[in-house]
Amino acid sequence: MNKKWVCYDIDEEKVQNIKEKYNLTDLVANILVGRDITEDKQIKVFLDPTRKDFYDPFLLPDMEIAVERIIKAINAKEKIIIYGDYDVDGITSICVLKKFLEDRGIQISQTIPNRLNEGYGLNKEAIDRISKEKYTLMITVDCGISGIEEIKYANSLGIETIVTDHHEPLDVLPDAIAVIDPKIKNSKYPFNQLAGVGVVFKLIQAISKKLNLDEKEYLKYLDLVCIGTISDIVPLVDENRVIAKLGLKLVKVTKNIGLKTLLNSLGYQNINSMSISFGVAPRINACGRMGQSEVALKLFLTNDLIEAKNLTDQLNEYNRIRQEIEKNIYNDAITKIEKEGIESKSCIVLSGENWHHGVIGIVASKITDMYFKPSILICMENEEGKGSGRSIPGFDLHNALCKTSEYLQKYGGHEMAVGLSMHKKDFKDFKEKFEQYAESSNINEITPIINIDKQIVDKELTINNIKDLEKLEPYGEANKCPLFLYKNLKIDSIRSLTEGKHMKLTLKSDNNNIITAIGFNMGNKAAEFLIGDKVDIVGTLEINSFNGIESIQFNLRDIMKSL
């Protein structure tokens, strides 16, 4: 599929000013300007954040009320339970709050709903169990903002609730004694994109301030806060960047035995946002997807090295099983798409018997990436179906479900990702109406866009320049790894790797400089080009080290023949 390449329009005067003022390379200054990071305070916090760059936690709604209630519970030795979520954000949220409160001399319990038979968020059956065990205070983390009925039910049973969440609130807030969420309307907090664990971090920061504790009492948990923040794919800008940048320093020297053991098992030479996103997060999430989130929770809470190793082995095994299940569903879905000719439609809607609904969201994401079309996959079990959907920029998937809701039991999510359930008998009608809606939305006219940070030339391709790009890390949502355009290169060699899956090239510039390029999952493109062809490439810049020799390599995102 042809993609549209768009280079940022750069103000060269700003680039020169920032370059000189902060002693930066041209590449780094260009990227800062292209991403509209041009004010002195912005640049300082982006390049070198400190603990002084955290906002006042008491600016969050209901923070004062929550802190006073928790301190009262600590002093009275009340029975407190934390109610969390089964993903990395939820699990790290529980661990941070539990460890912090237990350091204050009070025992804390926790509960996580089982993804497979309870689903996300609060439920009345769990609240019944909490009531029977005589808990008087429930603190939700990474959930609760939409639990209107459940919190009302908890109130009726004499359980007081403090909600900490980061999801979009409904028109009506739950009747809790405190609701802390930066997305609440009229919130005075300067940043509303915190992860759930980020909100928990602000809570323990506020309690620490109120109790006049040393800063280290909350800062020491930044390793887990960083893990949850990066894993939840919230924008790594503003306060999230402060959390991630400072937190990664702690992750590298973490005293959390479970986290350290897990990291050691992954074998990464460099611990950065990518090793968190592609190494740690999938393994923690795999537990939740397989209905075993307690394993990941125990890992981050244990102080026993042998237990940590056993739990890490379990996590890695769950991840292996998750990958195998995911691969089987993916292959089954691709077979159905090709057999039924679905790739010619404006969207992809599929169902499968006994697909594992804990992993179909990942498969839907891969299907959407492959075909650049919104996709919905439904797992059919007996007469019921549970599904996940992923979209492309320009098509509001949640709105599409609103238009087809007559065939759905439940649905939720946002423009780019949704979850849904339906009766099996309604699938055919849902599929037909959804496809009609997608067709009327002119999806086929939407062209994928690659936003390019800068076009580069030979003289800029130096080892020192590439290393200087590390100042822009950690990379993540809203702070992607920079993409560069290099034009008019002559193909010197080209071949496919790993049974045709990948593509490797050597390219020669007009000045006869040799550039190596690797295109992962681009092996099918190798047949489109010949040695001697002139091409333009877009990709990230990397330093490849082999036998002690460093060289520059392009990690390709796209390639086309030069005009």
Structure tokens at 150: 């459940």
The CATH number of the structural domain formed by 53-245 is 3.90.1640.30
Domain with CATH 2.40.50.460 in the chain: 450-561
Give the Cα separation of 16 and 246 in Å (integer). 28
Burial of 417 (0-12, 13-18, 19+ CB in 10 A): middle
Tell me the CB-side half-sphere exposure of residue 329, using CA atoms within 13 A. Answer: 29
Give the Cα separation of 174 and 101 in Å (integer). 24
Phi, psi at residue 220, to the nearest 5°? -70, -10
The predicted structure's pLDDT at residue 118: 67
Structure tokens at 246: 């400072």
What's the one-letter identity of residue 11?
A: D
Q: Is the pTM of this model over 0.85?
A: yes
- Sign of torsion, CA 131 135 136 137? negative
Q: CATH fold of 450-561, please?
A: OB fold (Dihydrolipoamide Acetyltransferase, E2P) (2.40.50)
Burial of 288 (0-12, 13-18, 19+ CB in 10 A): buried
pLDDT 10s per residue in the chain (563 long)? 678 999 998 999 999 999 999 999 999 999 999 999 999 999 999 999 999 999 999 999 999 999 999 999 999 999 999 999 889 999 999 999 999 999 999 999 999 987 766 667 788 999 999 999 999 999 999 999 989 999 999 999 999 999 999 988 888 999 999 999 999 998 999 999 999 999 999 999 999 999 999 999 999 999 999 999 999 989 999 999 999 999 999 999 999 999 999 999 998 888 999 999 999 999 999 998 888 889 999 999 999 999 999 999 999 999 999 999 999 999 999 999 999 888 889 999 999 998 987 889 899 999 999 899 999 999 998 899 999 999 999 899 989 999 999 999 988 777 888 888 999 999 999 999 999 999 999 888 888 999 999 999 889 999 999 999 999 999 998 999 999 999 999 999 999 988 888 999 999 998 888 889 999 989 988 889 999 999 999 999 998 887 778 889 999 999 999 98
Residue 474 φ/ψ region, left for φ over 0, alpha for ψ in the -120 to 50 degree band, beta for the rest = beta
Structure tokens at 484: 């560069």
The predicted structure's pLDDT at residue 354: 82
Strand 375-381's sheet: what is its strand order?
348-353, 375-381, 384-390, 417-423, 410-413
Domain with CATH 3.10.310.30 in the chain: 341-445
Q: Are strands 375-381 and 348-353 parallel, antiparallel or unpaired?
A: parallel
Phi, psi at residue 176, to the nearest 5°? -95, 165
Question: By the 8 A CB rule, do 377 and 364 touch?
Answer: yes
Question: By the 8 A CB rule, do 553 and 543 touch?
Answer: yes
Give the Cα separation of 226 and 507 in Å (integer). 39
The predicted structure's pLDDT at residue 116: 67
The predicted structure's pLDDT at residue 1: 67
State yes or no: cis peptide before 57, omega within 30 of 0: no
The CATH number of the structural domain formed by 341-445 is 3.10.310.30
Domain with CATH 3.90.1640.30 in the chain: 53-245
The predicted structure's pLDDT at residue 57: 98
Q: How much of the chain is in helix, strand and coil states, percent to nearest 5?
A: 45, 20, 35
